Amino acid sequence: MSGHSKWNNIKRKKEKTDAQRAKIFTKIGRELSVAVKEGGSDPNINSKLKDAITKAKSNNVPNDNIERIIKKAAGGDGNDYEEITYEGYGPSGVAIIVETLTDNRNRTAGNIRHYFSKYGRNLGSTGCVSFMFKEKGIIAVDAESTEENKIEEDAIEAGASDFIFDDDCYMIYTEKEDYHAVHNYLEKKGYTFISSEIGMVPDSYITLPDEEAEKVNVLLDILDEDEDIKNVWHNLK
């Protein structure tokens, strides 16, 4: 069912309509713009921009779009966005971290409070759930594109910290500081990534009956639809 695994979360996003994919492009465009304004337009010295470019490419954002956004942001054009992270609990006590990029703090805060009030349990204070997560590199490779022994061997050689076969997908996890080295190594080996990013990985997962899990997925889908929300991390298996 939806949300069963990290791979199903990825598939769910990949299968969205063109209009929904346009929202994803808009969100990633904001990330690129903020990264440039914070650290400059050279990804070789701006690791945040390098991460955003990697994420953009794994979501099939055209190179021309990426270059145009970077050039525009470097010239000082565009809105000023601030990053705000919210933490709280969804149905059945699922821990949720919501990362936002917004040009209107009051609008975003009000929307997120509404989502959690109507579809979740409650928002909490900073740190109320993030202690259950660690920041790691997350790289997904389609299982049909390679053999398990081959990709696992290459991932370990590259310096990955964990390797999991997850419902037709190979999930490769790295320590945050090793992410770019592992990503670049596997890219040079010719692997095509379904997704690749630095994210919040829970220390453990909650398994729920289908009916309860679907209530969580309703909240997750609504959060995904909001253009102010950059990433949503949770511990639902």
Query: CB–CB of 137/168 below 8 Å?
Result: no
Average pLDDT, the chain: 89
Tokens encoding 7: 């791979």
Instruction: Indicate the SS3 state at residue 232.
Output: strand
pLDDT for 55 beyond 70: yes
pLDDT digits (tens, 9 = 90+) for 163-212: 988 777 899 999 999 999 999 999 999 988 888 889 999 999 999 999 99
Considering the four listed CATH numbers 3.90.550.10, 3.20.190.10, 3.30.70.1140, 3.30.70.980, the one that applies to the domain covering 82-131+204-234 is 3.30.70.980
Burial tier of 48 (Cβ tally within 10 Å: 0-12, 13-18, 19+)? middle
Domain edges within the chain: 6-74, 82-131+204-234, 134-202
Class of domain 134-202 (CATH, top level): alpha beta
Q: Distance (Å, rounded) from C-alpha 164 to C-alpha 152?
A: 9
CA angle 221, 104, 26 (to 5 degrees): 50
Sort residue 26 into left (φ over 0), alpha (ψ -120 to 50) or beta.
alpha
Q: Distance (Å, rounded) from C-alpha 154 to C-alpha 141?
A: 12
Q: Do domains 82-131+204-234 and 134-202 have the same CATH topology?
A: yes
pLDDT at 13: 54
pLDDT digits (tens, 9 = 90+) for 101-157: 999 999 999 999 999 999 989 999 999 999 999 999 999 988 888 888 899 999 999
Torsions phi, psi for 58 (to 5 deg): -70, -15
Residue for token pair 């579809």: 119
- Reported as a pLDDT band with limits 50, 70 and 90, residue 11 is low
pLDDT digits (tens, 9 = 90+) for 65-86: 999 999 999 988 767 899 999 9
What CATH code would you report for 6-74?
1.10.10.200
- Reported as a pLDDT band with limits 50, 70 and 90, residue 35 is very high
pLDDT (average), residues 80-95:
94
Query: CB–CB of 70/40 below 8 Å?
Result: no
Q: pTM of the prediction? A: 0.85
pLDDT at 3: 36
